[in-house]
Structure 1
Amino acid sequence: MSSQNASSLSLVEVMQTRYQESPYPLYHQLREHDPVYWDEAAHSWVLTRYKDVLSALRDPRFTAARFTFDTSGFPAEFQQAIEPPIRALTRQMLFLDPPDHTRLRGLVSKAFTPRVVEAIRPHIQQLVDQLLDTMQTEGQTDLIEHFTYPLPAIVIAELLGVPPEDRERFIIWSGDFGALLEATDISADDAIRGLYGVNEFIQYFRHLIAQRAQTPREDLLQALINAHEGQDKLSEDELLGNCVLLLAAGHGTTTHLIGNGFLALARHPEQFAWLKAHPEQAPLAIMELLRYDGPVQATSRVATADMQIGDKHITAGQNVIMCLGAASHDPEQFYDPDNLHLDRKENHHLAFGQGIHYCLGAPLARLEAEIAFASLARRLSQAKIADEQAVQWFSGIVFRGLGKLPIVLA
């Protein structure tokens, strides 16, 4: 199939209501139809086979510099206002190649080393216990609102040096940022709305950075500020853009991991019982929950050279979507992929990506999830979904998570 022939199926269909509950049947259809196909609706090649996704994520012939916005269609009065957030977003390490990516990641990674992350284990356990104590005073509650949102938001806010009490604001701004990443065919109105939200996010960090000039502190934000002023020479756009990235990515995806995972366990009580009986196996269980229904379902790159993937010819300049969710359900790689096996040993899932852009916060996300699920198994393994009809998903091409998960506490 040439790049001009559209498949009758499209990855864009994943946003339809019928696939919100589970996108994996669509992924299987796409893979069986053609594991490397041109998706006219997404205007991109789509990879759904594990070996192709893994290879592409590691291939230096792909560039991550893919965040572009054509502002020519926007009203003239808005173009000047939205230029700063666009400029800052393009300097996030998510959208950079070496050497800029190497420099930024090297700086920020110091805050996410296994030793640094492990040191905050007691504090995360304390937060989990406090949230569960409050929840258990109620007979029924929403797990997303009262547990999966606040926990990662508090942790990353404290690590970065942002007042945790501001989390309601940056959850909203993170949603604006996520909408810009998610959109495949965004309208001018939606783009302006999202960019204005990101601009508020950036102004918020400008204010915090100005405060630090008077009262420096020991945290990740201060380390980034010091690098901006020092030999690493972080530009202002790099400083602001990556503050937004760290705060938004640091809580959003972990929120979805814990929410998606709890729902999977509630629907598989025998697996929940296994985790309760084997709390020391929480790290293994997290790997399977990430594979089974991960928070990040896809990422993309742009080809910088002509290349061959499978039997298809990819042309330089074309976009390629690597479908992580499909790869993690590929039966050629995983035994019984559509069923949950918390004791799965061979589990090289791609939920955190692969290659130089492998998720920087993966150690922190895993630790938060391990503590959360070990505690949930100990204290809430008998909890039931209060109303299946009230469970609210948002399932896009990139992100997958829950907006509401009402539960009855046993």
Structure 2
Amino acid sequence: MTTHTPVFTERYLLSPDMIADPYGHLDALRDHAPVHWSPLHHAWLVTGYDQVMRCLRDPAVSADRVRPLMDAVPQGAREDAERAFGILSRWMVFNDPPEHRRLRQVFQEAFAARAVARYRAFTEKATRAVLARRATPGRTGDLLADVARPLPALVFARWLGIPPTDGPSFWYWNTRVADLVLGTAQEESEYRASLQALVSLDDYLGALVARRRAEPGDDLISQVLREGRVGDSVTEEEFTGMLTQMAFAGGETTSNLIANTVLALHTRPGQLAAVRAEPELAQGAVEETLRLDGPSKMSIRTAARDLDLDGRTLRAGDRIFLVTAAANRDPARFPDPGRFDVRRSGATHLGFGFGAHFCIGAALARLVAVAAVRTLVCDHPGLTLTDPGRPAWQPSLLNRGLTALPVHY
């Protein structure tokens, strides 16, 4: 009797069904070939946990994404792109060692767990204030717009030292920068607006750095300036460019993490009950969301030189998609990987990356997300999803974020 191996059919990762739920396809792809050349995406799709870890550790795998982003600029927007991509070239996440290490060290002390812990009381107070104002019991609303976006914005603005009067412009620029960096589908006019937003954000933060030099405060910019590395190990232009990265990453990632965790819990009554019974399990809920349905689906890399990976030869210049959304569900690493378990322990997930490129803001993102989830779950027992079966997701290759989360408070 002849047996036939099932044929694997690749799917476009930006098609509506893949945006809605990519996980079944990604699981099948990982089982088919954890290192797979995709003619459809013109890239290697790396979906196995061990293989993604190898790439995150291998210096032959480069984080420089500025050139590929430049290549994707619509023809009519190229004149606007030069300065914007000069700013992106100063983001530490788009640099390899030793440049990455030099840039990252400027923020190392400010992002240490002990430094972030100073914002715990403010974060908890801000959480209660936002919920009291926007999540009134009996009201119907959008949890993403009401809570998940404004809360991180409030905390990160305080942390960066953004005056409240500048908040609306600051967060508008951030939203447009997110569209640019995360590959959200845009028309050419929108793309040009996103490029200009990045330039405006850089100009604003440059002026704020100058102001904090003259009038130091209790914020990240003032702290780093006091340490004396700006003008020494990094230029002021590099420092300002990295601040645009901090501003972008802090709001978008944490907002999506809060909303995705609330969705995960409210579609799993047993897990929701567990967190209500033991509020400290809010931390486990956030970690499990980072693993199972986190705010980042993948990161893009480039082969700096030829390398062998899992028996496949990746050539210098090849694009590589490190699909952490698949690696975090690898059954070789996570028992019963499709199960959401707030008490899960064991293998380290890759929701915040790993190694040199581990997310420097992870401690602050976790602080804000856990405070929001714990308060929503424990202090708002009447919270329900109004349409739990049909969440709508942003059309992005890289991030996993809801467009809205309708709820009854």
TM-score with structure 1 length normalisation? 0.90
Between the aligned partners of 1:185 and 1:383, the Cα distance in structure 2 is: 32
Q: After TM superposition, give the deviation of residue 167 of structure 1 in Å.
A: 3.6
Q: After TM superposition, give the deviation of residue 257 of structure 1 in Å.
A: 0.4
Asked whether the 8 Å contact 2:61–2:301 carries over to 1, the reply is yes
After the TM superposition, which residues 23-34 of structure 1 pair with which residues of structure 2 at under 5 Å, given as runs? Answer: 23-34=22-33
Q: After TM superposition, give the deviation of residue 281 of structure 1 in Å.
A: 2.7
Between the aligned partners of 1:55 and 1:265, the Cα distance in structure 2 is: 32
**What letter matches 1:368 in structure 2?**
V
Q: Secondary structure at the match of 2:110?
A: helix
Q: After TM superposition, give the deviation of residue 362 of structure 1 in Å.
A: 0.7
| Residue 322 of structure 2 is aligned to residue 341 of structure 1 | no
Between the aligned partners of 1:333 and 1:212, the Cα distance in structure 2 is: 47
Aligned partner of 1:261 in structure 2 is 261
Flag the 1:263–1:133 CA change in 2: closer, same or farther, 3 A: same
Asked whether the 8 Å contact 2:300–2:319 carries over to 1, the reply is yes
Aligned partner of 2:144 in structure 1 is 144
Per-residue CA distance 1:158-187 (angstroms, 9 max, x = gap): 111112454433333223222222339987
Unaligned runs of 5+ in 1: 1-6
Q: After TM superposition, give the deviation of residue 280 of structure 1 in Å.
A: 2.2
**What letter matches 1:46 in structure 2?**
L
Between the aligned partners of 1:374 and 1:224, the Cα distance in structure 2 is: 31
Choose 16-25 or 99-108, whichever is displaced more.
Answer: 16-25
Q: Secondary structure at the match of 1:129?
A: helix
Q: Identity of counterpart residues, as a percentage? A: 32
Per-residue CA distance 1:372-401 (angstroms, 9 max, x = gap): 222122122442111347743215221011
Between the aligned partners of 1:185 and 1:373, the Cα distance in structure 2 is: 30
Choose 57-66 or 354-363, whichever is displaced more.
Answer: 57-66
TM-score with structure 2 length normalisation? 0.90
Asked whether the 8 Å contact 2:185–2:396 carries over to 1, the reply is no
Asked whether the 8 Å contact 1:256–1:400 carries over to 2, the reply is yes
**What letter matches 2:54 in structure 1?**
S
Asked whether the 8 Å contact 2:152–2:255 carries over to 1, the reply is yes
Per-residue CA distance 1:323-379 (angstroms, 9 max, x = gap): 011111112211221221111112411000011010001111111122222212212
Asked whether the 8 Å contact 1:14–1:26 carries over to 2, the reply is no
Asked whether the 8 Å contact 1:272–1:381 carries over to 2, the reply is no
Choose 223-232 or 365-374, whichever is displaced more.
Answer: 223-232
Unaligned runs of 5+ in 2: 1-7
Asked whether the 8 Å contact 2:137–2:382 carries over to 1, the reply is no
Per-residue CA distance 1:58-113 (angstroms, 9 max, x = gap): 112212122121499745xx655432211111111011122221122111121111
**What letter matches 1:32 in structure 2?**
D
Asked whether the 8 Å contact 1:298–1:325 carries over to 2, the reply is yes
Asked whether the 8 Å contact 1:284–1:344 carries over to 2, the reply is yes
Per-residue CA distance 1:193-224 (angstroms, 9 max, x = gap): 32122112222223323433543324222345
Aligned partner of 2:66 in structure 1 is 67
After the TM superposition, which residues 269-348 of structure 1 pair with which residues of structure 2 at under 5 Å, given as runs? Answer: 269-348=269-348
Flag the 1:165–1:149 CA change in 2: closer, same or farther, 3 A: farther
Asked whether the 8 Å contact 2:103–2:234 carries over to 1, the reply is no
**What letter matches 1:39 in structure 2?**
S
**What letter matches 1:230 in structure 2?**
G
Asked whether the 8 Å contact 1:160–1:220 carries over to 2, the reply is yes
Between the aligned partners of 1:49 and 1:244, the Cα distance in structure 2 is: 32
How many residues in Structure 1 have an aligned counterpart in Structure 2? 398
Q: After TM superposition, give the deviation of residue 42 of structure 1 in Å.
A: 2.1
Aligned partner of 1:231 in structure 2 is 232
**What letter matches 1:156 in structure 2?**
F
Between the aligned partners of 1:284 and 1:79, the Cα distance in structure 2 is: 45
